[in-house]
A and B are shown apart, each in its own frame.
Chain A
Amino acid sequence: MLKKLIQESESLRQLFKRNKHFKLKDLSRQLIEEAALSDDRLKALMALIAYSLYKLSSKGHITKNPKWDFAKKEILQHLDKAVQELKSKDFREFESQLRLAVESISRIDSEISNYAHSTFEKARAKLASNAYALGLSLGQAAALTGADKKDLLNYIGFTRMHDEAGVGLGIKERLKNLEEVLSA
């Protein structure tokens, strides 16, 4: 378990360092699935970082901004320290370094992104929807990534996932049940 977590943490750092955007996206998907299956909030946090870094580093107007290089260096330092802490089995400090990386991501995002709704918040909803698609409840998926339920509902609403589940009782039958309750 620890060995795998170290490998995944190192992958996160290396992929970001080498600008492997789409591999960061793949890593975030893998991490959120593992997090959903084991209710692992720390792994979910790593997934959120991987997804946010994929989004930020794949946008030209961000990476060409003079502030980006400094921010990238700062984020890499936190990710590097996080790996070292994990190797020392200091999970508390590992999480602390991940949270510092999130602070750095949020700071650069608020300084140079075009959107008021932060990349990290969008990542929360996006990855929570992945967890919901996998089979978690809305509440459990939201809790896993810290997404707001309304944000998550809006995200899910624009996907096809509710069209994929089998049809149980239809609108007409449920409406009939409702009418019975209201007329009693």
Chain B
Amino acid sequence: MNSIVFDSSSIISISEKCFIKVLEKLSQKAELAIPKKVEFESITRPSHIKAFELNALRIQTALSQGWIKSIQLEPEFLQLSLRVKETANSCFFINNRPFVLIQDGEAETLALLRQLGASTLVIDERNTRMLIEDIQGLHSYLQARIAGIMKNEQKIAELKKMLSGIKVCRSSELIAWAFEKGILESELQKNKESLEAALYAVKYSGCAVSEREINDYLGNF
């Protein structure tokens, strides 16, 4: 069974809209894993805030029941997470200072993929996805917004090597998968309107999917 690693953004989006049962079904097909830092961000920290506690408890239940596993990085991969973070945060600079792009949670998620020998990352956040798939596109995005942002080609090449082979999917693809497999049928009719509503629900929970992408996909039905 292959492993799939989740970033906190995707696990929060999915559980926020009560689709966490989709992950339970997915866990019958693949091992679902998060690093400890993501456990902290999606359970420990929000569990102390009343407004977010219910969502944190939903994810906690998934961990307790064992269909999502929180995994400690081994020392070698903890070192890798530090290298990933250092390299990613050296790719761009402004006024001779590095432009900080990612944090520990994102770096640990990327290192956990390597530890598990996995290739699929579920992440709703935009920047890390662009770092993996289209770092030059990320530079163009930043250039359009930040005057004078420069890139370090050597660090970009190093990062590309570190992140090669990683395939990204988002909450939107998990919803599409669940829809096609009939997993949502206990609460939603299997029709285009339900699929559209479910995809927009995760979009409004922060999943970095565009309206155009949703419409293109809905065009298949």
Query: Quick one: closest A residue to B204, CB to CB?
Result: A157
Instruction: Let me know if A137 is at the binding interface, CB within 8 A.
Output: yes
Contact: A169 with B133, CB < 8 Å? yes
Across chains A and B, the number of contacting residue pairs, with CB separation under 8 Å, is 156
In the complex the two chains form, what is the Cα distance from A158 to B142 in whole Å? Answer: 21
Q: Main SS of the interface on chain A?
A: helix
Task: Known contacts A153-B205, A174-B173; decide if A163 and B210 are in contact (CB<8 Å).
Answer: yes
Instruction: Let me know if A138 is at the binding interface, CB within 8 A.
Output: yes
In the complex the two chains form, what is the Cα distance from A101 to B208 in whole Å? Answer: 35
Instruction: Let me know if B86 is at the binding interface, CB within 8 A.
Output: no
Contact: A134 with B208, CB < 8 Å? no
Query: Quick one: closest A residue to B148, CB to CB?
Result: A37
Q: How many residues of A contact B (CB 8 A)?
A: 43
- Chain B residues with Cβ below 8 Å from A174 are 167-170, 173
Chain A positions 120-171 with a Cβ under 8 Å from a chain B Cβ: 132-140, 143, 148-158, 162-163, 165-171
In the complex the two chains form, what is the Cα distance from A138 to B204 in whole Å? Answer: 15
Residues of B within 8 A of A (CB): 2, 4, 8-9, 12-13, 16, 26, 29-30, 41-42, 45-46, 49, 51-52, 55, 94-95, 97, 99-106, 119-120, 124-130, 133-134, 137-138, 141-142, 145-146, 167-170, 172-174, 176-177, 180, 199, 203-214, 216-217, 220
Residues of A within 8 A of B (CB): 37-39, 117, 132-140, 143, 148-158, 162-163, 165-172, 174-175, 177-179, 181-182, 184
